Structure 1
Amino acid sequence: MTLHADGYTFLLSDDVTRTPVRYKNRYGIEIAADLYRSKGLDESTGHPAIVIGPPHGGVKEQGPGVYAHELAQRGFVAIGFDPSYNGESTGEPRHVTSPELFAEDFSAGVDFLGTVPYVDRERIGAIGICGSGGFALNAAQVDTRIRAVATSAMYDISGLHRHGWQGSQTDEDRQKALGDLAVQRWKDVDAGEPELSPVFPDEIPADGLDPVTSEFFEYYVTERGHHPRSIGGFTVTSAMSHINFGAVGHLEDIAPRPILLITGDQAHSRYFSDAIHEQAPGPKDLVVVPGARHIDLYDRTDLIPFDRLETFFAESLARA
């Protein structure tokens, strides 16, 4: 894939209509999103709809658009959005990451879809890709209008901040992180603006990259998935809200609404999906895609199990 003339990392089918839309979340931030639907969609009746969030650091022109575009061809109305403070959505300072706001952005997408005349308000689901997987689950925990939730290549960003990679962070590590963040707050005060965490480099440094960073480099920096508004960096002090918010913690509140977890057998992030599948008490299913790495579930339409997603949402969002 490459960035096409229309600014997207994939080509739009002649059978699909993509319409830029804007709406506000409950914090007054204007969310930029794209509405996808098939050109032959019958507008005289209500249809199932899905709100789709991007990988942490991604934008709607990447993974969310790939998913929404495919699902629109399968009869769903779908939106892919830019999270608050990122992409073309509003909010200052830029590049904040917030578990509360990013979960709210899913609910704001439900709000918007509920105003579309040909969407059935009782048949709205959500998909979270990578970091949005955790945010989608958080949203579904408190927003019962989300009738079904799927994650793909899930990351629990807040859990990662609080517990470290695969739970490796000790209490001492966390206290040091909090001390460093306190120092950073003063640095931001004195500078008059927040400092960003490192952004994606333009080229691989001389000392190379670790395997996980190398994989993200392959998607975000090369022509495969590069987009100028997807820079990879966030305000450093955003970590405070993730640590305070904690990991996905109320999965029981999603039941009896169903959860579908998609991961790859080669995905470095697989343990996140495995953990949620083990912890969630309600209807749940785990799909492990053979040969798929983490980033392959962003855009590899030959690997993403769209047939399974279609079946999951068709059954979960069926008319009562």
Structure 2
Amino acid sequence: MTNQTLAAGKNKVTFKSFGVELAGDLYLPEGFDPTQSYKAIVGASPFPQVKDQIPATYGPEMAARGYIYLGFDYLGMGDSPALPGEFKQARYMFRLIENTWDAVSYLGTLPFVDEIYGLGVCQGGSIIASAAVTDHRIKKIAMVSGMMAADGFQWTDRDMANMQIAAANASMQKTYETGEPDYVAPFGLTDEHSRQEFIDLGGNPMVGETYDYYGRDGVKGPVAVPTYTNMHIGDQGMQSLFSLAEAYADKIVQPSLTIYSSSAFTAICSTQFVEKLTNEHKELAFDEFSHVDFYYKPEAVTASTDAVAEFFAN
């Protein structure tokens, strides 16, 4: 429970996970009354985001639609500490799931919270879907531009996947031997690149929209969001190449909603996931938006949050 005085809008909160206090933002709807009951949402963000990115966009939108929304920094990210003896910018899938379970536990201590739902964007979709498999306190889940069925996306080129694994293995060994963090740019984008420099590196079809969001000059890049950096612990590949959500898709019992861009090359991560579901499920595809449009473009965010609000309400 909390003795903190909470008010409509954004409230800074903390909750315990892995024995440390994770930093969160609790968004409460206009006219919030602690004597009333509300439906609450635990938010899950893309890799490697912090709470001032997707949660700061979706939190106010869901609060404006009458929901409580909790966005938070995962262990070792943003304003949340790393474990003693570990390093910042280390975001591992199994810990993300447990952080999410603890976020649900925190919401469960709030006397004005009725039901709890999960809403994940990009990697957050995989986190929410994975967490929900064995956490039935989460009554419904929604995934936007989700990376749930990531095997078909990450393992299509097996040689490239094994190169990523080799680099991650070497990074883990280096960190262990030196006792110092080995930071890399997982997508090739550093905090210093200009847009043209990043595009000139080549890569996937999302380079332009990736930079426009995460780049030095991006809307939610390291200049706009001081707690964010594109640099990350180099062993991340050893964790991100696990795709738990699709492996357990047929075990999910909660009603679910999958929203994605049918024109994005990440669409397979949603469509192959949907094919494996056996629960009550709704699927919503948009041709006019890209994968990253759902992160911040007003039309795309309105479309997704309207759909999520309606889904959670019924």
Q: Is TM > 0.5 for Structure 1 vs Structure 2? A: yes
| Post-superposition CA distance 1:239-267 (Å, at most 9, x none) | 22344675631122221x11111112332
Task: Tell me by how many angstroms 1:183 deviates.
Answer: 3.0
Q: 1:295 to 1:175 in 2, by over 3 A?
A: closer
Tell me if the contact between 1:47 and 1:119 (Cα under 8 Å) persists in the aligned partners.
yes
Aligned length: 292
CA contact (8 A) 2:264 2:291 kept: yes
1:189 CA drift (Å): 3.0
Letter in 1 for 2:146: M
Amino acid at match of 2:153: W
What is the alpha-carbon distance in structure 2 between the residues aligned to residue 74 and residue 39 of structure 1? 9
Which of 266, 269, 275 pairs up with 1:269? 266
2:24 to 19, 33, 38: 33
Q: CA deviation at 1:296?
A: 0.8
Q: TM-score, normalised by structure 2?
A: 0.85
Q: Percent identity?
A: 26
User: What is the TM-score with the length of structure 1 in the denominator?
Assistant: 0.83
Instruction: Quote the Cα distance in structure 2 between the aligned partners of 1:136 and 1:220.
Output: 22
Tell me which of 160, 173, 176 is aligned to 1:186: 173
Structure 1: 5+ residue stretches without partners: 1-14, 316-320
Once the two structures are superposed, the pairs formed by residues 108-187 of structure 1 within 5 Å of their partners are 108-120=102-114, 123-156=115-148, 160=150, 163=151, 165=153, 167-170=155-158, 177-187=164-174
**Alignment of structure 1 residues 1-320 onto 2, 5 Å:** 16-25=8-17, 27-91=18-82, 92-120=86-114, 123-156=115-148, 160=150, 163=151, 165=153, 167-170=155-158, 177-198=164-185, 199-204=190-195, 205=197, 207-210=200-203, 211-221=205-215, 222-226=217-221, 227-243=225-241, 248-255=246-253, 257-304=254-301, 305=303, 306-315=305-314
Q: Point out where structure 2 has 5 or more consecutive residues left out of the alignment.
A: 1-6
Instruction: Measure how far apart 1:129 and its partner are.
Output: 0.8
Distance 2:208 2:11 in 1: 34
Give RMSD over aligned pairs: 2.3
Q: Matched residue of 1:114: which SS?
A: helix
Is the 8 Å Cα contact of residues 30 and 66 (structure 2) preserved in structure 1? no
Alpha-carbon displacement from aligned partner over 1:89-136 (angstroms, at most 9, x marks no partner): 11131111211111122212111111112111xx10010111111011
Hey, what's the Cα distance between the residues in 2 that align with 1:223 and 1:242?
24
Q: Work out whether residues 52 and 79 of structure 1, in 8 Å CA contact, stay in contact via their aligned partners in 2.
A: yes
